[in-house]
Amino acid sequence: MIETGSTANTTSNLLPMTTEVTNEDDDIARPEAAFRFTVQNISQLKEQVLSPPCYIRCLPWKILVLIRNTTTPDRQQQKALGVFIQCNGDCDSPGWSCYGLGEIKLLSYKPDGEHLCRKIHHMYHSKEDDWGFAHFISWTDLMDSENGFVKDDSITIEVHVVAEAPHGVSWDSKKHTGYVGN
């Protein structure tokens, strides 16, 4: 894995994070990549946090992690971890879109532990620049040491994204892929 940097949390100095890119290719126009985001001090998380970007199809893709209060089927409030993939989130232009599909994994640190995986596919655009799960896992299940998701008050999320060529942004398919129209 290539470590792409360790950054301080943009919303709180209590939550330092690291991001690693598993794809050895530094080509920002690549059609797919896998990358990880470690959130430290997860028990102190109050606001949403974003990973540093991983560039796929020349667009910045980030992992968004937050706490949500959701309602169970029997109308009880439940604290949950929300996890989303964000594409081109800082772009103010209304006319862009990019179809992406992939997988979000909450990694277990236990050697025999199972990762929690969820698949997504979405047409990202200016009004819906992130997609994922408001209730990725309940807070109780996340913090349960038997599940092995939290180690030293940290969690690691890994995503794998495959993206089609974007529309409405500067994209020279011949330059980036060698073909016109890809």
Q: In this structure, is residue 115 part of a structural domain?
A: yes
State residue 180's pLDDT score: 54
CATH number for position 104: 2.60.210.10
Spatial separation of the C-alpha atoms in residues 102 and 104, rounded to whole Å: 7
Q: In this structure, is residue 181 part of a structural domain?
A: no
Section 143-147 average pLDDT: 95
pTM to 2 decimals?
0.79
Q: In this structure, is residue 110 part of a structural domain?
A: yes
Q: In this structure, is residue 95 part of a structural domain?
A: yes
Q: How many domains does the chain have?
A: 1
Beta pairing class for 77-87 and 17-21 = unpaired
Q: In this structure, is residue 113 part of a structural domain?
A: yes
Backbone phi and psi for residue 174, each to the nearest 5 degrees, phi listed first = -65, -40
pLDDT digits (tens, 9 = 90+) for 43-77: 999 989 999 999 999 999 999 999 998 777 888 88
